Amino acid sequence: DAKTTQPTSMDCAEGRAANLPCNHSTISGNEYVYWYRQIHSQGPQYIIHGLKNNETNEMASLIITEDRKSSTLILPHATLRDTAVYYCIVRVAISGNQFYFGTGTSLTVIP
Amino acid sequence: DVKVTQSSRYLVKRTGEKVFLECVQDMDHENMFWYRQDPGLGLRLIYFSYDVKMKEKGDIPEGYSVSREKKERFSLILESASTNQTSMYLCASSLLRGVGETQYFGPGTRLLVL
């Protein structure tokens, strides 16, 4: 699975949009981009995933560049409960293929 | 909503003890996984299972075994706990399908081996 690069930490003001970038320049055509987050002392929580089109759900939006070498997770109105470590994972969508979590981005939402 | 539950949130055991960590999912998922998470190392896969009575080794199976007697339950066993097995243990499950498979995680068990 391709390697991803994320900033170590970010801050965001409460109520503002949080934009979390991820670089995956070696992504291949059959690899999906997944985003998970982990709030302190809890299990990772699935947020969103996509292949090449932009995706939106009730939690977030995922913007994937046309060349698929990078993506951005957008939390449209960050709340204090969004403070967590966010993981960008690139993964071949084979059933049972494991998820490789790196160190992620620690997002702090500031009141 | 998918629910993955783990038998304990916190566990303290002594070196040499046999330890059982239980995981149950309620969504009829075929795949189940056990990971451990350590600071600076991310999540590492210990074992996974595609079906009842099936198991496959992950990246770090040494010192662990697993059991899957029923589809909804996947147990991780530490045959003789050691201090280097102190960690956060995470169970996950996923539905068997061709593309876009998503893994859902339980809340984790924080194990301390003294």
pLDDT in tens, A34-54: 999 999 888 999 999 999 989
**CA distances in angstroms from A48 to A34, A35, A56, B13, listed in the order given:** 6, 5, 8, 37
**Of A100 and B109, which is predicted with more confidence?**
B109
Res A102 pLDDT > 90: no
B91 HSE (CA, 13 A, CB side):
29
pLDDT, position A110: 97
3-class secondary structure, A30: coil
Look at residue A97 in the predicted model and tell me its pLDDT: 66
Give the pLDDT mean for B54-61: 91
Give the pLDDT confidence score for residue A95 in this predicted structure. Answer: 57
User: Among B73, B102, B78, B80, which residue's Cα sits nearest to residue B89?
Assistant: B78
- Pairwise CA distance, residues B61 & B47, whole Å: 6
What is the band of B2 on the pLDDT scale with cuts at 50, 70, 90?
low
Contact (CB<8Å) B108/A103 = no
Instruction: Report the alpha-carbon distance of residue B35 to residue B88 in Å, rounded.
Output: 8
Q: How far is A98 from chain B (nearest CA, A)?
A: 7
Environment class of B73 (CB within 10 Å of its CB; exposed 0-12, middle 13-18, buried 19+): middle
Query: In the predicted model, what is the mean pLDDT of residues A87-94?
Result: 82
The beta-carbon neighbor of A43 closest among B56, B90, B94 is: B90
Say if residue B99's pLDDT is above 60.
no
Q: Give the gap in angstroms from C-alpha B80 to the nearest C-alpha of chain A.
A: 25
B78 touches chain A (CB under 8 A): no
Query: What is the distance between the alpha carbons of residues B10 and B71, in angstroms, rounded to a whole number?
Result: 25
